[in-house]
Structure 1
């Protein structure tokens, strides 16, 4: 298990990350309390890395993928279906709040990423609408599962688009220091959100 984690970590480190050199971001980012430039020191073999915002988001995305997969494979008005629905609802709510504050707000400060950031936030609202539809539908109804599968489709599309397109652009806008700082802030906010929601 430990081997898999390290392998995944180094593969994902390539998401828009610069391996070395000087990285600059817009002056607008400085207004948000971020560094405008940072000299990146290459990571030596065996050296511990600090998680980046991309890795933090991917880790939580994997939680969402697992939950939605389990949810669409439930049947009828079962305790399992209700539990998984409550879990995915809380997960999406907490994730969106933390991600918008500590990933998309900084990206909206750059012309390169502002449109992608706005688009992704709009997709969060679309996911909320599917959750509301599921709450208003009888859990035993065939229509409930149809809507759940629509939610699955939209969610997986959103996650893939974010990881393939948004991460690449964000890697050019955020400095290495930004990526690590935002990861810490995102993870802390995520924990606080989940505690507040009670998940």
Structure 2
């Protein structure tokens, strides 16, 4: 009968045994997975910060929302500059527009419109919310219409006209009214809360 020349450690395990190597390998794999997950989380937060940064840097909540309005109109400009052959570009721009409008709607619906209700502008807040429903309808129609069809760009142009009217009502009338009725501290709180909401979906 052959005898083993392997030595044991203080716990009675053979040095260099397969079970020890397996445990070591598992630790290395687990460490790599944890490191990858941490990098993924950091990348996600970095992307969110980059998306929300223009809003945060724009200043007070009303200035930030106006900056988002302007950025949205630039996306419409880019879409309207395409022709019927640019289906890939149109789809990419539509996806960008949809994400930007979704984030913007969350900021307004979860923070600004409730603040409008607090100052007694309940009817105006409800009307703005209803108009956001039409925004979703336009996006649905665009996603379900062939991008190469003349109807698609016609929907885009009608969408733009309606959304510009919505933006002007907010920027020229309702936002200045809300800001004027709030204290400086309350306006700062509204800005911080709005940025927090935007960051969640950025």
TM over 0.5: yes
User: In the aligned structure 2, how far is the partner of 1:71 from the partner of 1:51?
Assistant: 28
Q: TM-score, normalised by structure 1?
A: 0.68
Within 5 Å, give how 1:58-77 maps onto structure 2: 58-76=66-84, 77=86
Aligned pair count reads: 145
Across the aligned residues of Structure 1 and Structure 2, the Cα RMSD in angstroms comes to 1.7
Relative contact order (C-alpha < 8 Å, sep 6+): which is higher?
A: 1
User: In the aligned structure 1, how far is the partner of 2:153 from the partner of 2:199?
Assistant: 29
Match of 1:124 among 112, 123, 132: 132
Q: TM-score, normalised by structure 2?
A: 0.67
Match of 2:160 among 152, 155, 159: 152
Is the CA contact 2:142–2:152 (under 8 Å) kept in the aligned structure 1? Answer: yes
More helix by share: 2
User: In the aligned structure 2, how far is the partner of 1:115 from the partner of 1:174?
Assistant: 19
Within 5 Å, give how 1:95-106 maps onto structure 2: 95-106=104-115
Q: Which structure has the greater CA radius of gyration?
A: 2
Mind listing any 5+ residue stretches in structure 1 that lack a counterpart?
1-48, 195-199
Moved over 6 A (4+): none
- Relative to structure 2, which stretch is displaced further, 149-158 or 69-78? 69-78
Q: Which residue of 1 aligns with 2:98?
A: 89
CA positional deviation for 1:136 = 0.9
